Amino acid sequence: MPARQPLPRLWLMTDERLGDRLLGIIARLPEDAGIVFRHYSLAEAARRALFESVRRAAPGPVILAGRAERALVWGADGSHGRHRGAMSAPAHDLAEIRAAEAAGASLIFLSPVFATRSHPDAPVLGPATFAALASQTSLPVIALGGMNAARAETLSGAYGWAGIDAWASA
């Protein structure tokens, strides 16, 4: 799926922890901020209904986590995942960066940079490893994991940043 250009530098990753606050958080996002819609635990009909609400409220592109075919049917601006045709892909190491490149991703979410509530036991990259990994690709790299605006300013190699809690507490 073709990406809107330019790709946003700021992203909200949705998850169930945002609950009823989700649309209010989206209303406070900066202009053109992107959203990766996850909400994996919802039943199909409920997930689709919430996706439609998010898409209507979004200030920028909404990427659906999941297969590219579903993203196309749902009217998403792209898909997110480890599959061919995904607009964006998650990566945690150099092998996953290379896999994202090979799959044709336009954007990589590299994580976790710092400790994060969504993956509390995951080993963190830290700023130095993040910068070293980000320098290994020509794709834009979005920093994810314990991110906020202040931390993003200290990172080398980040095209932008994404978060959950940072937007929820803003």
Residues 6+ apart with CB under 8 A from 109: 11, 13, 36, 80, 88, 89, 90, 91, 141, 142, 144, 162
Q: What is the DSSP letter of 110?
A: E
The pLDDT, as a whole number, for residue 135 is: 98
Report the CATH fold assignment for 10-168. TIM Barrel (3.20.20)
Distances from the Cα of 76 to the Cα of 43, 100, 105, 134, 164, angstroms: 18, 19, 15, 27, 20
The pLDDT, as a whole number, for residue 119 is: 78
Nearest to 144 by CA among 45, 41, 10, 5: 10
- Look up the pTM and report it: 0.93
The pLDDT, as a whole number, for residue 1 is: 41
Per-residue pLDDT of the chain (170 residues; tens, 9 = 90+): 444 457 999 999 999 989 999 999 999 999 999 999 999 999 999 999 999 999 999 999 999 999 999 999 999 999 999 999 999 999 999 999 999 999 999 999 999 999 988 878 889 999 999 999 999 999 999 999 999 999 999 999 999 999 999 998 86
Distances from the Cα of 136 to the Cα of 35, 110, 141, 167, angstroms: 25, 12, 10, 29
